[in-house]
Structure formats: structure tokens, C-alpha cells
């Protein structure tokens, strides 16, 4: 006999409560990709070994990413009756210490902690939620990440999981779901910002069968990894959103298009799909109704343009992912296999269950009028607290970078923040008070995008950044339309010349005109936004372009053709380390005498500067280049 | 190879829309997509050979030459870029004695770059097979390579 949803929920709740309220301590280790990269699996093993050896009963569970990647590997320890303590940058050696001091004794080792959360206070340990880094955050899409075991469906169910699906299937019509989604104001979290409710409405209204639901998890933007974190940390929330969407538009098949470079995310999804089948949330007659739904995983083969909806559906069909040409039909009408298809991003689907369970009003209770709910960013680059953050829409860039991110490291000065990846732009310090929402960012010349946010300091060259992004889009352009294929190539060529110190004064106007042409003439979003990095750097950092072109100077000392490494006579002690490490033998000098760089040989790799002992710091990087001495030239000629 | 190929392809007879999963599977088994495999895929699925090549050459994942035993991927994501990925790549090239896209003479390593592996908070990083090495300096890269060579 199959269990009712109420029975399943009750059982899950009991299991979760036994864990939460039991006598044994709980140890939760973040083992998403970021945690693993920092060594989390060795930490898990150390806990297992040590607990077994010391004969201690405790529950170890692997959880997803809880956000503060800078503190990985992150371990949360729950002792009965105490608030949870988060230990940061844990390594296997610290495991022994933590077990001895805190699990066996009562010393929380405050020096190792990131903070505590939950009720109560532990002496010496900061309360997480009171810190500037966490206070402004609102965890909604990330509600379960870092808390539940993503490979265990009962943990998800015990935390209101599949309640939204049950509510939709048993108490709401398809139109009711559409109305709720529309009322929530949710806008497409893939970056486009199209109102999700209207898309769902169009999916429901579309004629033709079968219909499809497609989840876009082809997170290809360099600098963005939140979709991966959601899938790795809470895969069922994505499945539940897709199943609700299937019910709403009348589809029986869903696809998740996920990057093949995310092997762990794919494994988590496979497992979650199997579990959902076992519980009767996927398959035939879901939750005892006559609704059937299946979800398939499609590992993407590495093409950034497949993030574009029409290219993505063609890719699933086994074709080249080239966006459809105008007049472009809406995917909701003609999508996968030319059938009506509802395509949303991972975070949009993950938001749907909450909207159904808690209501549109709750969802819209944070954020701004036109951008409701929360935004997720991958905050990285020159910022102290790198990681994933979830904040109410409308918060300012300044609050994100300085409060949550803890500012720029090493006392360096903030220069720019890049949002929206290769389709976005670079915003300067003067725009730090811009509120984060779809429309304000658009107005500033950038985009919300899928949520990459890279902070840049004075060591970043803005011309080089523009070149970097064009390098990316030029490779990723699918090649079918001329403005994008040739336009990005030409933009890149001009930028490369400027970086090489061969820029001409007319290049500035040419870059601008060409950018507008690429923007106006390209078929799809990739081309239309490809010039944004150029346009925004031209708009806000024109002085850097001018320095490159007119003074042959790279202010950030990044562009190799415009810099020289020189050894300072007053600081060099003649230790010889630089000469030994120089890959092209450009450095000469006698022991204990000042060394010299032969500029005609030097390849500007910077190894000498890196290797020069910090107490001497005798190698300087200068721009513009020092002139190669005429005498040396005549000698060689 | 013929036997292995027909074994891999047997469930896909006539399945034209499974082309990408087929290519992925063949590459996972053989390490790359040799010409004869491409022709066989076309025959089994009933797709024109041009179409099989067109699709395979469109996606970055697919390769047509054999690779080294290990893959050494330097991430060029934005966060890695602003934190010195260029220098990491240069040091890797120096230490391995090859440039991007090449394979070492002993067929141990193939050096590639990747647009982003999503470990941006731990930038700059590289991915060696499935392991990520994070927060690197050029010095650490040469140490990692020396250590691996010594093993």
C-alpha cells in the first residue's frame, strides 16, 4: 500500500526531529564542490576515524554549500542544548583538537570559529546573524543549502519539501498556480528578468502536445556558480519546482540541461530523481492524482551560447546550439522538438515551491516593487569574504561589497565591480550606491545576469578586462550572424592592440561605433550584450584607455607590453635569487652587488618580483616601459 | 576498438537525437573521438557524417586527438583572471614544458584552459583530473608539478 503524503511527511519529520533533538551531537561538513576543493573530504574522513577510535557517538552528515566559501572547509557542530557552532578552514589536524576540546570537553575553541547560530550564546564566539556579513542576508533559495543532507529526500521533506507540489496538485487548478506565480512578481533568475508568471501563463495557454519543461542549468558565465550550489545542496527544490511547472502547463516530461563540468551536481540530481520516484513524486499518478511526470538529465557539452533558450533546446535535440533566427518564436510556443516548452533557470524553479507553500505575498515581502524576492550573487575577486550570498533585491552594491564582503583585501583601493559576466558591465566606485535590481543595473549599463559579481581593485586593468571578456565571447560566438562573429573579433583585435601599446587615437570612437553595431545587429542575447564590457569600461574608465593609447602606460601595470621590471639599486643586496629564477636569464650581477635586468631579453613574467625576498622587495614594476639603452642596441646590431 | 565501439553504440541504433550523449559516451570510453568512431556513429544513428562532425566540432567538450593520461586544466574564469590566472598558466607551461593545448612527450599531461570551473571564491585554481587545487601562486604550481613528477 502506498503511503499518503501526510504519512510521508510525518515519518520524515520524526526522522529529522530524532536527529535534531537527539542526544548525540551532529557534525555537518560542507562537501559541495567548493568544500571539496578546499579539502572537505579529508575532514569528513578525519571525523569518522577519530570518532570511531575514541568511541564517540555522533552523526556526521555531508551538506551542501552554506555560502562563505572563503571559510571552507566549513564544519557545523551541534551539541544538544547549545547553539550550532561553525568552524572555519578546518583541516584534519584541527579535527582531533575540536573533538577533544568541544565534543569531549566544553571548550568551543573560539579561535577556530566563524560564529554560532541558533538560540543562545557561547562565550567568545560571535553570533553569526549579528555580523555585518550575515545580517543583510535573507536565505530563501538557499533555505536548505548547508543544512540538509542533499542525498536524503526525507531531510528535504521534513523542511516543507514537496509540500508545494502537494498543495498545487490537491488544492489548486493550473490557473491558480499561474495566478500565484504572477502575483509573486518572480522574475526569471537566469538573468533576463522576464516575469516568470507570465511565462507559465503562456506555457499553459500554448496549443500543442506534448509540452516540455526545461531547466537551464548550463551555468557557463565565468564567475558564477550559484546554480551548481543549489543543485548540489538542495536538488529536490529544483525537481519540485519543475514538477509543479509540469502540472501547471500540462507537460509530462522535463529536462535539466546541466554543464558536464559539474559532475557532482549531475550525481546529486540522478540520486534525487531516483528518490522522488520511490516516494511517488515522479512517475505515474503523482501523489495519487492522474498527473504523470518524468525528469531527464542532459549533460551539456560545453557551449556558452546554449544558455540561450532556443540554442539550448536545439542542443537537447542533438544539434549545434545555434539560436533560432528572427522572427524568433517564443520558446513557450515553439521550443523543444518544436513543441511548447517552459524554460526557466535553476533558481526560478527552486523558488516556485516556496511561492506555492508560503504564498505570493510572502515572496514579495522582501525586495523592491518591480524586483521582488532575493537575489543570489557569487561574490568573488578582490574582496575579503568570497562566496555565495543571498540578499533582498534593492540592497546597494556598497552594502554587498563592504558589509557582506568585508571590503577589499590588503588595504587596496576598490576600482570596479563587474556584474552579469561577459554580458554585463563594469561599474565604478561612483555607482556603489546603486540598488541591486534588474532595472537599476540595466540603467547603469550592466545587467543582473545570472549573478556573478567580481570585485576589482587597483591591480586590475580595465582595458585588459574588456579584452578578457571579448576573448571569451569571440570564442563562444556560435558564428551564424555576422555582427557577432566578426564584430567580436574586430573588437578583440582593437583591444589587443591597445593592450600592446599600439592603440591609435581613432580606436576609441571605432570601439564605440562597433560596439553599437554588434549590439544592434546580432541575432541573440550573446551578441546583443557582448559589447557591454567594452561600452561600460569606455564609459567609466576612459582615462585608462587614454593612458594606454597616448602615454603607452598601463596604470594597473598588467599589460605586459607596457611594463618593465627594474631592480632598485638602493634595495638590492645581490642575493642572486632573481637571477637564478629568471626563465630567460635576463638578470645578471655579481654576488652581493646590485643586479640588473637586461630589458632587451626580459619577457615581463614577473618571477623576479615574486621571488625577491620580502625583506628586500627590490624589484619594481614600472609603466610606461623603461627605454632600452641605445648603447646596448648598437652593440647587438 | 571496433568491438568496444559497437558495444557502446548498440543501444543507440537510429537514435538521431541522442547524438550528444553518444559522443560523450564514446569519448568517455576512448578518451577522444577518432575518425573511425565518428563514421561509425554516423552509420549507427543514420545521420549524415557531416552532421556528426558539425555537432562534435561545435562543442568545447569534444576532442579529436588523443590526450595525456591526466588532464591539467587552468581556469580562466573572471575571478581567476583578476587574481592572476595568466601567471598560473605561464608557470604551468614552463613547468610542464608545453603550451596550452599540447600534451607532454611522455603522454602524462594534456594542458588546457577552461572558461570557469566555478570555484571562483578559491581563485586562482586549476583542475587536475577531477581534483581542484585552489588559491594558487605560480610557486605552488611548480611545486605541485614537481611533486607529481616525483611520484
CB of A240 closer than 8 Å to CB of A282: no
C-alpha cell at A581: 629564477
What's the pLDDT band for A631 if we cut at 50, 70, 90?
Answer: very low
Comparing C-alpha atoms, which of A593, A599, A587 is closest to residue A625?
Answer: A599
Q: Cell numbers for A489, please give them.
A: 573579433
Quote the CA–CA distance of A462 and A536 in Å, as a whole number.
10
Mean pLDDT for A237-260 is 97
Nearest to A380 among B16, B121, B131 (CB): B121
Whether B89 and chain A come into contact, CB under 8 Å, resolves to no
Instruction: State the complex-level ipTM.
Output: 0.90
Give the one of B17, B78, B116 whose C-beta lies nearest to A317's C-beta: B17
Q: How many CB pairs under 8 A join A and B?
A: 139
Instruction: Report the gap between the CA of B69 and the closest CA in chain A (Å).
Output: 18
Model pLDDT for residues A86-119, shown as the tens digit of each residue:
999 999 999 999 999 999 999 999 999 999 988 8
pLDDT of B121 above 70: yes
pLDDT in tens, A545-585: 999 999 999 999 999 999 999 999 999 999 999 999 898 99
H helices of B72-137, in order, are 78-82, 85-96
Q: Shortest Cα distance from B130 to chain A (angstroms)?
A: 9
Say if residue B73's pLDDT is above 50. Answer: yes
| CB within 8 Å: B78 and A380 | yes
In degrees, rounded to 5, the angle at the alpha carbon of residue A494 between the alpha carbons of residues A492 and A498 is: 115
Asked if B140 is an interface residue toward chain A (Cβ–Cβ < 8 A), one would say no
How many residues does this entry show for chain A? 637
Measured CA to CA, the distance from residue A105 to residue A114 in angstroms comes to: 20
pLDDT digits (tens, 9 = 90+) for A13-57: 999 999 988 899 999 999 998 899 889 999 999 999 999 999 999
Which phi and psi angles does B47 have, rounded to 5°?
A: -90, 150
Are B116 and A222 a contacting pair at CB < 8 A? yes
User: What is the distance in angstroms between the Cα of A98 and the nearest Cα belonging to chain B?
Assistant: 24
For B59, the closest of A301, A460, A583 (CB atoms) is A301
pLDDT at B2: 76
Nearby residues of A517 by Cβ (< 8 Å), 6 or more positions away = A483, A487
Contact B147, B89 (CB under 8 A): no
Taking an 8 Å cut-off on Cβ atoms, the answer to whether A298 and B20 are in contact is yes
Tell me: pLDDT of A587 over 50. Answer: yes
Q: Do B118 and A606 touch (CB under 8 A)?
A: no
Which of B18, B118, B122 has the most A C-beta neighbours within 10 Å, making it the best mutation to test the interface with A?
B118
Strands A564-567 and A619-622: antiparallel
Share of chain A above pLDDT 90, in %: 84
* Mean pLDDT across A366-395: 94
The helices-and-strands tally (H runs, E runs) of chain B is 7, 4
Query: Is A584 an interface residue toward B (CB < 8 Å)?
Result: no
Domains of chain B in start order, with CATH, are 2-58 (1.10.10), 70-150 (3.40.30.10)
Give the tens place of pLDDT for each residue, A63-88.
Answer: 998 889 889 999 999 999 899 999 99
User: Do residues A233 and A150 make contact, with C-beta atoms less than 8 angstroms apart?
Assistant: yes
**Widest pairwise Cα distance in chain B:** 52
* Average pLDDT value for residue range A590-599: 94
| B110 close to B67: Cβ distance less than 8 angstroms | yes
Of A303, A380, A459, the CB nearest to B120: A380
Task: In whole angstroms, give the CA distance from residue A141 to residue A137.
Answer: 12
Q: What is the pLDDT of residue A629?
A: 62
Q: What is the pLDDT of residue B144?
A: 94
CB contact under 8 A, A263 and B115: no
For residue A327, pLDDT over 90 is answered with no
The answer to whether residue B87 neighbours chain A at the CB level (below 8 Å) is yes
Q: At what angle do helices A196-205 and A174-184 cross, to 10 degrees?
A: 160
pLDDT at A632: 47
Residue A633 has pLDDT above 50, yes or no: no
At A476 the pLDDT is 93
Measured between CA atoms, how close is B19 to chain A, in angstroms? Answer: 5
What residues of B are in contact with residue A302 (Cβ under 8 Å)? 59-61
Report yes or no: A372 and A393 within 8 Å, Cβ to Cβ: yes
List helix spans (H) across A389-541: 397-398, 438-443, 462-476, 482-499, 507-521, 525-530, 532-540
φ, ψ (nearest 5 deg) of residue A61: -135, 145
**Distance in Å from the first CA to the final CA of chain A:** 93
Question: What is the per-residue pLDDT across A112-168, written as a single tens digit (0 to 9) for each?
Answer: 999 998 888 888 999 988 888 889 999 999 999 999 999 999 999 999 999 999 999
pLDDT in tens, A219-236: 888 888 899 999 999 999
Encode pLDDT of A527-556 as tens digits: 999 999 999 999 999 999 999 999 999 999
Query: For chain B, what percentages of helix, strand and coil (3-state, to nearest 5) are there?
Result: 55, 15, 35
**Mean pLDDT of all residues in chain A?**
93
Q: What confidence score (pLDDT) does residue A59 get? A: 95
Q: What is the pLDDT, as a whole number, of residue A427? A: 95
Contacts (Cβ under 8 Å, ≥6 apart) of A358: none
State what percent of residues in chain B have pLDDT above 70: 100
What is the predicted pLDDT for the residue at A635? 42
Query: Does the CA dihedral A35-A41-A42-A45 come out positive or negative?
Result: positive
Domains and CATH numbers, chain A: 5-129 (3.40.30.10), 162-363 (3.40.50.11540), 374-457 (3.10.20.600), 462-550 (1.20.1440.230), 563-636 (3.30.70.20)
- Check whether A314 has a pLDDT greater than 50: yes
Cβ atoms of residues A3 and A154 within 8 Å: no
- Binned at pLDDT 50, 70 and 90, residue A1 comes out as very low
How far is the alpha carbon of B126 from chain A, nearest alpha carbon, in Å? Answer: 10
Question: Which ranges in chain B belong to alpha helices (H)?
Answer: 2-9, 19-30, 35-45, 49-58, 78-82, 85-96, 138-150
Q: State the Cα–Cα distance between residues B32 and B67, nearest whole angstrom.
A: 7
A349 neighbors A215 (Cβ within 8 angstroms): yes
Amino acid at each position: 500500500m502506498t503511503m499518503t503524503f501526510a504519512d510521508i511527511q510525518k515519518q520524515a519529520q520524526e526522522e529529522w526531529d530524532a536527529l535534531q533533538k537527539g542526544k548525540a551531537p551532529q557534525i555537518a561538513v560542507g562537501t559541495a564542490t567548493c568544500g571539496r576543493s578546499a579539502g572537505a573530504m579529508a575532514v569528513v574522513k578525519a571525523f569518522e576515524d577519530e570518532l570511531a577510535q575514541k568511541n564517540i557517538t555522533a552523526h556526521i552528515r555531508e551538506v551542501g554549500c552554506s555560502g562563505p566559501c572563503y571559510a571552507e572547509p566549513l564544519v557545523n557542530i551541534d551539541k544538544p542544548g547549545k547553539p550550532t557552532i561553525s568552524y572555519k578552514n578546518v583541516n584534519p589536524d584541527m579535527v582531533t583538537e575540536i573533538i577533544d576540546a568541544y565534543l569531549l570537553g566544553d571548550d568551543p575553541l573560539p579561535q577556530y570559529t566563524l560564529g554560532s547560530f541558533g538560540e543562545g550564546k557561547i562565550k567568545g564566539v560571535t553570533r553569526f546573524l549579528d555580523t555585518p556579513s550575515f545580517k543583510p542576508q535573507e536565505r530563501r533559495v538557499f533555505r536548505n543549502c548547508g543544512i540538509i543532507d542533499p542525498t536524503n529526500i526525507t531531510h528535504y521533506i521534513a523542511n516543507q519539501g514537496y509540500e508545494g507540489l502537494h498543495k498545487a496538485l490537491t488544492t489548486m487548478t493550473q490557473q491558480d498556480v499561474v495566478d500565484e506565480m504572477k502575483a509573486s512578481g518572480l522574475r526569471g533568475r537566469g538573468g533576463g528578468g522576464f516575469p516568470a508568471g507570465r511565462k507559465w501563463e503562456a506555457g499553459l495557454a500554448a496549443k500543442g502536445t506534448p509540452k516540455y519543461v526545461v531547466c537551464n542549468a548550463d551555468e557557463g558565465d565565468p564567475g558564477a556558480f550559484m546554480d551548481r550550489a543549489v543543485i548540489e545542496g538542495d536538488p529536490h527544490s529544483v525537481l519540485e519546482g519543475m514538477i509543479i511547472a509540469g502540472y501547471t502547463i500540462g507537460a509530462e516530461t522535463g529536462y535539466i540541461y546541466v554543464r558536464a563540468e559539474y559532475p557532482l551536481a549531475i550525481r546529486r540530481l540522478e540520486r534525487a530523481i531516483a528518490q522522488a520516484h520511490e516516494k511517488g513524486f515522479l512517475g505515474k499518478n503523482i501523489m495519487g492524482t492522474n498527473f504523470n511526470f518524468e525528469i531527464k538529465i542532459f549533460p551539456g557539452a560545453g557551449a556558452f551560447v546554449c544558455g540561450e533558450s532556443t540554442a539550448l533546446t536545439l542542443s537537447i535535440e542533438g544539434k549545434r546550439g545555434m539560436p533560432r533566427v528572427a522572427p524568433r518564436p517564443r520558446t513557450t510556443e515553439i521550443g523543444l522538438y518544436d513543441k511548447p516548452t517552459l524554460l526557466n533557470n535553476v533558481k526560478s524553479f527552486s523558488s516556485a515551491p516556496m511561492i506555492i507553500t508560503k504564498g505570493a505575498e510572502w515572496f514579495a515581502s522582501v525586495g523592491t516593487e518591480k524586483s521582488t524576492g532575493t537575489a543570489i550573487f557569487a561574490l568573488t575577486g578582490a574582496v575579503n569574504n568570497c562566496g555565495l550570498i543571498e540578499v533582498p533585491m534593492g540592497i546597494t552594491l556598497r552594502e554587498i561589497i563592504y558589509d557582506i564582503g568585508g571590503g577589499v583585501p590588503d588595504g587596496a583601493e576598490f576600482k570596479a565591480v563587474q556584474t552579469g559576466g561577459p554580458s554585463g558591465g563594469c561599474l565604478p566606485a561612483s555607482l556603489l550606491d546603486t540598488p541591486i535590481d534588474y532595472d537599476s543595473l540595466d540603467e547603469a549599463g550592466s545587467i543582473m545576469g545570472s549573478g556573478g559579481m567580481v570585485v576589482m581593485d587597483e591591480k586590475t586593468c580595465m582595458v585588459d578586462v574588456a579584452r578578457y571578456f571579448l576573448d571569451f565571447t569571440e570564442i563562444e560566438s556560435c558564428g551564424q550572424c555576422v555582427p557577432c562573429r566578426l564584430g567580436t573579433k574586430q573588437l578583440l583585435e582593437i583591444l589587443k592592440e591597445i593592450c600592446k601599446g599600439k592603440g591609435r587615437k581613432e580606436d576609441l570612437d571605432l570601439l564605440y561605433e562597433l560596439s553599437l553595431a554588434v549590439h544592434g545587429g546580432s541575432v541573440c542575447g550573446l551578441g546583443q550584450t557582448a559589447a557591454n564590457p567594452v561600452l561600460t569600461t569606455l564609459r567609466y574608465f576612459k582615462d585608462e584607455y587614454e593612458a594606454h593609447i597616448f602615454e603607452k602606460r598601463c596604470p594597473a601595470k598588467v599589460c605586459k607590453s607596457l611594463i618593465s621590471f627594474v631592480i632598485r639599486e638602493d634595495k638590492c643586496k645581490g642575493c642572486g635569487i632573481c637571477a637564478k629564477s629568471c626563465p630567460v636569464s635576463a638578470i645578471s650581477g655579481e654576488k652581493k652587488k646590485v643586479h640588473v635586468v637586461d630589458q632587451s631579453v626580459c619577457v615581463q613574467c614577473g618571477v623576479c618580483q615574486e621571488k625577491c625576498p620580502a625583506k628586500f622587495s627590490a624589484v619594481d614594476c614600472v609603466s610606461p616601459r623603461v627605454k632600452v639603452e641605445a648603447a646596448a642596441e648598437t652593440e647587438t646590431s | 576498438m571496433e568491438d568496444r565501439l559497437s558495444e557502446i553504440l548498440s543501444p543507440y541504433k537510429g537514435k538521431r537525437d541522442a547524438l550528444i550523449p553518444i559522443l560523450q559516451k564514446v569519448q568517455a570510453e576512448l578518451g577522444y573521438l577518432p575518425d573511425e568512431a565518428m563514421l561509425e556513429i554516423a552509420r549507427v544513428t543514420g545521420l549524415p557524417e557531416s552532421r556528426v562532425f558539425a555537432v562534435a566540432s561545435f562543442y568545447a567538450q569534444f576532442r579529436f586527438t588523443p590526450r595525456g593520461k591526466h588532464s591539467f586544466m587552468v581556469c580562466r574564469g573572471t575571478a581567476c583572471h583578476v587574481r592572476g590566472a595568466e601567471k598560473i598558466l605561464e608557470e604551468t607551461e614552463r613547468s610542464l614544458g608545453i603550451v596550452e593545448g599540447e600534451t607532454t612527450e611522455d603522454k602524462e599531461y594534456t594542458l588546457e584552459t577552461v572558461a570557469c570551473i566555478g570555484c571562483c571564491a578559491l581563485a586562482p585554481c586549476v583542475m587536475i583530473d577531477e581534483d581542484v587545487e585552489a588559491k594558487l601562486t605560480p610557486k605552488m604550481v611548480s611545486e605541485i608539478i614537481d611533486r607529481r613528477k616525483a611520484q
